[in-house]
Amino acid sequence: MFDILYLMHMAHKRILYGLAAWISILSFLGFPTSWKKVLFLISGLAIIFVVYQSKSTATPKKNESRAFTENAGL
């Protein structure tokens, strides 16, 4: 289970690095201004989506805690 989560985290990290590189070179590629705005918007939304997905897979669900809780009924 932990190996899968680690691999998913690494995949999200790789995607974020790729998007960062894409945004870094996007302004130098010579696209018209209207295209650049749309491409920056799509890239920003992709970053938000990847970060949201990585946060949702990294945090355990409330009922899936592996830690032993003493006196949980109090």
For the segment 8-57, what is each residue's pLDDT rounded down to a tens digit? 667 888 888 999 999 999 989 999 999 999 999 999 999 898 888 877 66
For the segment 54-67, what is each residue's pLDDT rounded down to a tens digit? 776 655 555 555 56
Rounded Cα distance between 71 and 56, Å, is 28
> Residue 26's closest CA among 42, 15, 11, 10?
42
Note whether 16 and 47 are within 8 A (CB). yes
